[in-house]
Structure 1
Amino acid sequence: MKEHRRHAILRVNSRGGRGAAANLVSAIRCIYKHAEADRWIRPADNPASRAHKPGRLPSTRHALTLDQGRQIGHVASTTGNDTELDALIVRLHIETACRKGGVLSLTVDDLNTDDCLVKLREKGESERWQPISPLLMRRLIEHVSTRGGVQSTQQVLRYRSGRPIGRRRYDYLSQRIREHLRWADTMQVSAHWLRYTTLTFVEREFGYAVSRAYAGHTEPTYGDGATYAYVRASLAEVAEALTAVTGLPHPLAHTTHP
């Protein structure tokens, strides 16, 4: 494990090979678990069960400043080979605080135009309806109609040819942002930083229950205590938080923020 850690790929945000070592231990444990299941070894003779797995360090990600967020949006919407597409990607992440998988799995049937909601499918097979601004909904509908419509693909975000985007579009977008913004390259900023940014703002302004719902963490965990099972935020409250994030009204929000 120490040898594997020494040969880990060095990046700007490297953590001393801890991730490489943890992945190695997990892989070895998996192999020996199969050996146990096939009765090649006894559980008491499994050496992998005694291997120390490095613990995860706290994430270095944090909320970006308003100016940093604007800089990312400017780079996405003014550089590259498809500014319309990249601007939509960034806008979706800012408004919904979704993960990458939520954007890539978004289909035309997931657009509720009447209530300005999108259905997000993310890790753990979770699903939720998330409010977006009427402006973003119009942009998404226009994007679909001008890039092949539903005949081309059911996926919302696609290239001009009508082909749906994949994870490589994110690699291209992140690389471009880092090339244009030195601070983004230093911190190795990715789309997930936008999730941190939006959720931090929502938590500060609207409290923990609303930020949990906004993030899709609707089910309370053991460490949260029993109270959170009774104080879950409603969809209307999430919509109110969205109006504060975007400065635009939403049909489900009870109040309008300037």
Structure 2
Amino acid sequence: MGLSPQDLLSDARPRTVPTFAEYIERVGDAISPGTRRAYDPYWRRVLAVWGDRRLDQPTALEIKQLAERTKNAALVRGNSRGGRSAAENMITALRCVYRHAVADGLITDAANPAARVMKPRRLASTRRALSDVQLGEVVAVASTTGNDPALDALLLRLHTETACRRGGALALRPVDLDRQQCLIQLREKGETVRWQPVSPTLMRYLREHADERGATEDRAPLLRYRNGTPLTRRRYDYLWTRLGKHLAWVATQQVSMHWIRHTTLTWVERNFGYAVAKAFAGHTGRGDAGTTATYVRADLHEVARPVAALTSEPHPLVGSA
């Protein structure tokens, strides 16, 4: 019959490789909302230049050129690093598309051009822990200025006590409060979920905030504006822009809420060790700690000890440890 064994094993029906315009939307429906939000600016740029091209048409060189153009077009801010992050994000966004294309059998792993493009080497972060004086200045200004100082003071206390990420705070719901054990459930990037100890005072503030601002449904957003509208990321931008107008060093160094995370985690590591700081941060990967990290994981009782020390308040889990 003129057939080889390979002919019988392969799919005789050739698959049509879709265009970027056709496929990116499908990939967007298959990833988390947070990931899509991060990739969308770069996918829009891809669609603008390659929307009508098939996935198997761009070469590795063309992807490198697109990343370089994205780097050169990046907005220049006070904390800019020459557009390196923009180039890295473009490559990462394209790798996501091609990873799904390989899984769908549209192209082979060997034909994946994005996998052959090196990301720019990351530079050391300029973020660092704030001093006690600097943190005191931030809290003082936030709690005495602006259109809702009570909200901003609560935000800063929440991030200082828990070292949570911005997404974790915005995703907080009334059902995530364990009042008896003084724990809050944080849902952060990578779809991670964990319980984090907080002080009795912060738990009380969160409950009062929810009651006063209409967060009555268990699974509705807890943090809200005075009118009851759920908080958005814009509040963080407004807060740190305002702080920069009152504190020159905040504007000069482009301080953000992530610096508060650095501050708390640095203090926890210095005083309670690496394993506790790792658990406090919600880090689940082994990273550079190797296999040993599997055997030195800290539990909730150990994570509660830094909270008790930081706030000078007893914690329910510390007494039962």
Task: Tell me if 1:66 matches 2:138.
Answer: no
* 8 A contact 2:186–2:194 mirrored in 1: yes
Task: Tell me if 1:116 matches 2:182.
Answer: yes
Higher relative contact order (Cα pairs below 8 Å, separated by 6+ residues)? 1
Cα deviation, residue 197, structure 1:
0.3
Structure-2 residue corresponding to 1:143:
209
Structure-2 residue corresponding to 1:187:
253
Cα deviation, residue 84, structure 1:
0.8
Cα deviation, residue 86, structure 1:
0.8
- The alignment yields a C-alpha RMSD, in angstroms, of 2.5
* 8 A contact 2:173–2:218 mirrored in 1: no
Change (3 A) 1:52 1:216: closer
Q: 3-state SS of the aligned residue for 1:119?
A: strand
Q: Which AA in structure 2 matches 1:188?
A: Q
* 8 A contact 1:209–1:233 mirrored in 2: yes
Q: 2:291 aligns with which of 217, 221, 226?
A: 226
* 8 A contact 1:75–1:180 mirrored in 2: yes
After superposition, give the CA deviation of every residue in 1:118-137 in whole Å (9 maximum; x if it has no partner): 11111111111111111111
Question: Structure 1: 5+ residue runs without aligned partners?
Answer: none
Q: 1:157 aligns with which of 223, 227, 231?
A: 223
Cα deviation, residue 170, structure 1:
1.1
Q: Which AA in structure 2 matches 1:237?
A: E
* 8 A contact 2:128–2:263 mirrored in 1: yes
Q: How does 1:73-84 map to 2 (within 5 A)?
A: 73-84=139-150
Q: 2:315 aligns with which of 244, 250, 255?
A: 250
Question: Structure 2: 5+ residue runs without aligned partners?
Answer: 1-64
Cα deviation, residue 7, structure 1:
2.7
TM-score by length of 1: 0.88
Q: Which AA in structure 1 matches 2:88?
A: A
Q: 1:236 aligns with which of 301, 306, 310?
A: 301
Q: 3-state SS of the aligned residue for 1:80?
A: coil
* 8 A contact 1:153–1:163 mirrored in 2: no
Change (3 A) 1:133 1:42: closer
CA distance in 2, matches of 1:124, 1:221: 15
CA distance in 1, matches of 2:285, 2:107: 39
CA distance in 2, matches of 1:132, 1:230: 25
Q: 2:196 aligns with which of 130, 133, 146?
A: 130
* 8 A contact 1:198–1:245 mirrored in 2: no
Q: 1:209 aligns with which of 275, 280, 287?
A: 275
Q: Identify the range of structure 1 (235-244 vs 35-44) with the bigger mean alpha-carbon deviation.
A: 35-44
CA distance in 2, matches of 1:30, 1:237: 37
Q: Which AA in structure 2 matches 1:193?
A: W
TM-score by length of 2: 0.72
CA distance in 1, matches of 2:183, 2:255: 27
Q: Which AA in structure 2 matches 1:95?
A: E
* 8 A contact 1:152–1:162 mirrored in 2: no
Cα deviation, residue 45, structure 1:
6.0
After superposition, give the CA deviation of every residue in 1:100-120 in whole Å (9 maximum; x if it has no partner): 111111100111111111111
Share of identical aligned residues, percent? 55
CA distance in 2, matches of 1:167, 1:42: 39
Q: How does 1:86-97 map to 2 (within 5 A)?
A: 86-97=152-163
Q: 3-state SS of the aligned residue for 2:143?
A: helix
Cα deviation, residue 53, structure 1:
2.3
* 8 A contact 1:152–1:163 mirrored in 2: no
Q: Identify the range of structure 1 (201-210 vs 68-77) with the bigger mean alpha-carbon deviation.
A: 68-77
Structure-2 residue corresponding to 1:16:
82
CA distance in 2, matches of 1:39, 1:153: 39
Q: Which AA in structure 2 matches 1:14?
A: S
* 8 A contact 1:72–1:177 mirrored in 2: yes
Change (3 A) 1:20 1:248: same
CA distance in 1, matches of 2:130, 2:191: 28
Structure-2 residue corresponding to 1:99:
165
